[in-house]
Structure 1
Amino acid sequence: MQSTCPLSALRNLLKARELDGMLIPRADAHQSEDCAPHDNKLEFISGFTGSAGLALILADRALLFVDGRYQVQARHQVDLEAFEIHHLHEEPIHLWLRDNLPAGKRIAFEPLLMVNSQYENLRASGCDLVAVNDDPLNDIWPARPAAPCGLIKSMPDEISGESSANKRQRVAAALTAAGADYLALTLPDNIAWLLNVRGSDIAMNPVPHSFALVKNNGDIEWFVAREKLHQLSDETLSQVTLASPEDFLSRCEAIAADKRIWLDGDYAPVAVRFAVEAGHGRVIWQPDPITLMKANKNEVELAGYRASHIDDGAAWVNFLAWLSHEVPLREAAGNPITELEAQEKQLEFRKLCDNFQQQSFSTISAAGSNAAMCHYHSSPETNHAITGHEFYLNDSGGQYTNGTTDATRTLSFGQVDAQRRLHYTAVLKGFLALITLQFPQGAQGHQLDAFARRPLWELGLDYDHGTGHGVGHNLLIHENPHRMAKKVNPWPLLPGNILTIEPGYYLDGSHGIRIENQVEVVASQPGFCKFASLTLIPVDLSAVDLSLLNEQEIAWLDEYHLWVRETLSPRVSSEARPWLFEATAPVRARLAG
Structure 2
Amino acid sequence: MRQTFDEATDPSFGRKHLPLLRARMAEQGLDGFLIPHEDEHQNEYLPEANERLAWISGFTGSAGAGAVLTDRAAVFADGRYTVQVRAQVDADQFEILALEDNGLARWLEGAPRGAVIGYDPRLHSPDTLAGLKAAATRAGAELKPVQINPLDLAWGDDRPDQPMAPVVPHEDRYAGESAASKRARIGKAIADKGADAAVLTAPSSIAWLFNVRGGDVIRSPLPLAQAVVQADGSASLFVDPRKVTNELPGWLGDAVSVQAPEALDGALEGLKGRRVLIDPSLSSAWWFDRLTTAGATVVRGADPCTLPRAVKNAVEVEGSRQAHIRDGAALTRFLHWVDTVGQATLPDERQVAEALEGFREQTGALKDLSFDTIAGAGPNGALPHYKPVTRTIRRMERGSLLLVDGGGQYLDGTTDVTRTMAVGDPSADQRRMFTLVLKGHVAMAVVRFPVGTNGVQLDALARLPLWMQGFDYDHGTGHGVGSYLGVHEGPQRIAKWGTSQPLLPGMIVSNEPGYYRENHWGIRIETLQVVTEAQPIAGGERPMLGFEQLTLAPLDRKLIDVDLLTPDERAYVDGYHAQVLAKVGPLLDGEVRDWLTAQSAPL
Note whether the superposition's TM-score is higher than 0.5.
yes
Residue equivalent to 1:562: 578
Q: Provide the rounded CA distance (Å) in 1 between the counterparts of 2:267 and 2:463.
A: 45
Unpaired runs of 5+ residues, structure 1, are 331-335, 588-593
The answer as to 2:150 corresponding to 1:140 is no
Q: Is the 8 A contact 2:454 2:500 kept in 1?
A: yes
The answer as to 2:75 corresponding to 1:75 is no
Q: Is the 8 A contact 1:315 1:572 kept in 2?
A: no
State the secondary structure of the residue aligned to 1:274: helix
Residue equivalent to 2:3: none
Residue equivalent to 1:110: 120
Q: Provide the rounded CA distance (Å) in 2 between the counterparts of 1:489 and 1:321.
A: 38
Q: Provide the rounded CA distance (Å) in 1 between the counterparts of 2:444 and 2:291.
A: 44
Give the one of 122, 128, 131 matched to 2:142: 128
Cα-Cα RMSD: 1.9
Instruction: Count matched residues.
Output: 580
Residue equivalent to 1:158: 173
State the secondary structure of the residue aligned to 1:63: strand
Q: Normalization by structure 2: what TM-score?
A: 0.92
Q: Provide the rounded CA distance (Å) in 2 between the counterparts of 1:411 and 1:237.
A: 47
Q: Provide the rounded CA distance (Å) in 1 between the counterparts of 2:55 and 2:516.
A: 28
Give the one of 471, 474, 496 matched to 1:486: 496
Q: Provide the rounded CA distance (Å) in 2 between the counterparts of 1:252 and 1:284.
A: 17
- Opposite residue 223 of structure 1, the aligned amino acid is F
Cα shift at 1:171: 0.8
Residue equivalent to 2:559: 543
- Opposite residue 299 of structure 1, the aligned amino acid is A
Give the one of 43, 51, 55 matched to 1:32: 43
Q: 1:321 to 1:179 in 2, by over 3 A?
A: same
Q: Provide the rounded CA distance (Å) in 2 between the counterparts of 1:233 and 1:41.
A: 31
Cα shift at 1:177: 1.5
Q: Provide the rounded CA distance (Å) in 1 between the counterparts of 2:123 and 2:442.
A: 40
- Opposite residue 527 of structure 1, the aligned amino acid is P
Q: 1:256 to 1:317 in 2, by over 3 A?
A: same
The answer as to 2:471 corresponding to 1:461 is yes
Alignment of 1:373-388 (within 5 A): 373-388=383-398
Q: Deviations over 1:311-356 (max 9, x none)?
A: 11111112212221212333xxxxx323223332322322232433
Residue equivalent to 1:368: 378
State the secondary structure of the residue aligned to 1:108: strand
Unpaired runs of 5+ residues, structure 2, are 1-10, 537-541
Q: Provide the rounded CA distance (Å) in 1 between the counterparts of 2:453 and 2:575.
A: 26
- Opposite residue 75 of structure 2, the aligned amino acid is L
Residue equivalent to 2:7: none
Q: Provide the rounded CA distance (Å) in 2 between the counterparts of 1:579 and 1:543.
A: 16
Q: 1:466 to 1:246 in 2, by over 3 A?
A: farther
Q: Deviations over 1:46-83 (max 9, x none)?
A: 11111001112122332222222122322222222222
Residue equivalent to 2:588: 572
Q: Is the 8 A contact 2:84 2:389 kept in 1?
A: no
Cα shift at 1:103: 5.9
Residue equivalent to 2:260: 244
Q: 1:139 to 1:283 in 2, by over 3 A?
A: same
Q: 1:251 to 1:71 in 2, by over 3 A?
A: farther
State the secondary structure of the residue aligned to 2:237: strand
Q: 1:456 to 1:555 in 2, by over 3 A?
A: same
Q: Provide the rounded CA distance (Å) in 2 between the counterparts of 1:451 and 1:64.
A: 35
Alignment of 1:44-443 (within 5 A): 44-98=55-109, 100-101=110-111, 105-125=115-135, 126=137, 127-142=141-156, 143-230=158-245, 232-239=247-254, 240-248=256-264, 250-251=265-266, 253-330=268-345, 336-443=346-453
State the secondary structure of the residue aligned to 1:412: strand
State the secondary structure of the residue aligned to 2:492: strand
Q: 1:166 to 1:133 in 2, by over 3 A?
A: same
Cα shift at 1:280: 1.4
Q: Provide the rounded CA distance (Å) in 1 between the counterparts of 2:152 and 2:583.
A: 53
Q: Normalization by structure 1: what TM-score?
A: 0.94
Q: Provide the rounded CA distance (Å) in 2 between the counterparts of 1:297 and 1:165.
A: 17
Residue equivalent to 2:539: none
Q: Provide the rounded CA distance (Å) in 2 between the counterparts of 1:96 and 1:422.
A: 41
Identity %: 39
Q: Is the 8 A contact 1:252 1:276 kept in 2?
A: no
Cα shift at 1:389: 2.0
Q: 1:581 to 1:39 in 2, by over 3 A?
A: same
Q: 1:300 to 1:86 in 2, by over 3 A?
A: same
